[in-house]
Structure 1
Amino acid sequence: MLSQQLIQSPVFRGINAEEMEELLQKVQYRIRKYHKGDMVAFREDRCENLMIVLKGSVKGEMLDPSGKTIKIEDIMAPYPIASAFLFGQKNQFPVNVTANADVEIFFLDKQSVIELFQNNKTFLVNYLNSISNRSQFLAQKLLFLSFKTIKGKLANYILKQAAPDKEKIELPKSQAEMAQFFGVTRPSFARSLKEMEQEGMIEVNRREIKIRDRRALFSLMQQ
């Protein structure tokens, strides 16, 4: 049931299924289906709807100045897409959005979103929290992309995952998937990881990485 799916989304969290049913009766919405590889939105398309992934996942990608595709993130159900860009003077998609597999997306037009802001405080607070979280994520992503070398990006990632008190982390994805996340080729990613190990900064055992020289990792971030 649609209401059950939507109340799992961060923007509708705290609203029960009965309330959600009542809200849906008062607004204009639609559901669209996409197949794997379909383009959901192009960068700089106007963002005129609140879009929530109901099934499957999409990915946000952008091109760097050299034309290389950089994966920004995957957005899984039941999270919203580009909710921070629905309002503002330049309400355009910041990245290309592509379906990772078969996907269903809920569309709620901007005027209906405004009406829900006026009529439901829970939705308003959830939405503000959602776009604030997205802004913080994008700020961290920009910081990550600012590192000039693959090793610098790796060092930042490892230290962030380890926090101050951990000596080991586990990569959540395969090297090929991590390379895509870093916006580099798999051989380049693997070579940088190996060089850092040879230089005594880390120890690698499959997906597990153990920090050997935290100071050296911080130095890589300055290069």
Structure 2
Amino acid sequence: MELLTKCPLFKGIDYEVISQLLNQIPYQVKKYEKDHMIAQSGEECRSLMIVLKGSVKGEMIDYSGKAIKIEDIEPPRPLAIAFLFGKNNTCPVNIVANKSVEILHIPKKSVVSMMQLNSAVLNNFMNIISSKTQFLSDKIRFLSFQTIRGKIAHYLLQQAGPVDGEILLSKSQEELANMFGVTRPSLGRALRELHNEGVIEAKGKSIKIANREALINQLKK
């Protein structure tokens, strides 16, 4: 219950209240081993899932069969919560265990009951859906860039904001390559090209935008 107080769905709710809510509804805690497919893209979302232990990843499969990682999800975040309701309430991505995980499953009817019993749960649920919609919209815009250089430009401009200061990458090149849906050598080559052309100044995980106009032009190619 203490862990769930850190879950966005139960934000601002005391663990005793969470305990009382869960005592009034049916739920399950399931365990999955590494690489287990927890939910498949296109599968109906029948329950709200919250990661309690370990971590999972959301990934899409492109037409060539290559897996494109969307994001890693750590405890105690919910999974595909924005797709729990609606006419086509299917999981948008494959959800795969990065390691051994434990997941709390709350059936859809139980989620409705919690929202009726506690207005804070309802408010938190609506805020999560809004944030997820914004995230997915941005992700779709990112994937629309056809070239690696365009994806790099979009990512760096997003990280930098309006000021061309130093950007300290929080992800490795391998993680970025997975996020971009490209190979690590291809990503490294594109970064070197942008560096050699004076568009960016790259030094390890530190990158500085040297020519913002030239970087923006990469989005148009």
Distance 1:166 1:100 in 2: 35
TM-score (norm 1): 0.97
Aligned residue pair count: 221
Pick one of 126, 129, 133 that aligns with 1:128: 126
- Counterpart secondary structure, 1:90: coil
**Structure 1 residue aligned with 2:42:** 44
Pick one of 199, 206, 211 that aligns with 1:213: 211
**Structure 2 residue aligned with 1:26:** 24
| C-alpha displacement of 1:116 | 1.1
Pick one of 12, 15, 18 that aligns with 1:14: 12
The runs of 4+ residues in structure 1 deviating greater than 2 Å are: none
Distance 2:90 2:14 in 1: 31
**Structure 1 residue aligned with 2:167:** 169
| C-alpha displacement of 1:67 | 2.1
Pick one of 82, 85, 103 that aligns with 1:84: 82
Pick one of 144, 151, 155 that aligns with 2:142: 144
Distance 1:131 1:76 in 2: 18
Which structure 1 segments of 5+ residues have no match? Answer: none
Contact 2:164 2:212 in 1 (8 A): no
Distance 1:82 1:67 in 2: 22
**Structure 2 residue aligned with 1:193:** 191
**Structure 2 residue aligned with 1:180:** 178
| C-alpha displacement of 1:69 | 1.2
* 1:156 lines up with 2:151 in the alignment: no
Alignment of 1:56-95 (within 5 A): 56-95=54-93
**Structure 2 residue aligned with 1:113:** 111
- Counterpart secondary structure, 2:2: helix
* Identical pairs, percent: 50
Distance 2:87 2:121 in 1: 23
**Structure 2 residue aligned with 1:4:** 2
- Counterpart secondary structure, 1:7: helix
| C-alpha displacement of 1:197 | 0.5
TM-score (norm 2): 0.98
Which structure 2 segments of 5+ residues have no match? Answer: none
Summarize deviations over 1:23-79 as a string: whole Å, max 9, x none. 111010000111111111111111010100011111011111222211111111111
2:143 alignment partner AA: L
Distance 1:144 1:131 in 2: 20
1:110 alignment partner AA: K
| Two-structure CA RMSD over aligned residues (Å) | 0.8
- Counterpart secondary structure, 1:117: helix
1:91 alignment partner AA: N
**Structure 1 residue aligned with 2:95:** 97
| C-alpha displacement of 1:133 | 0.5
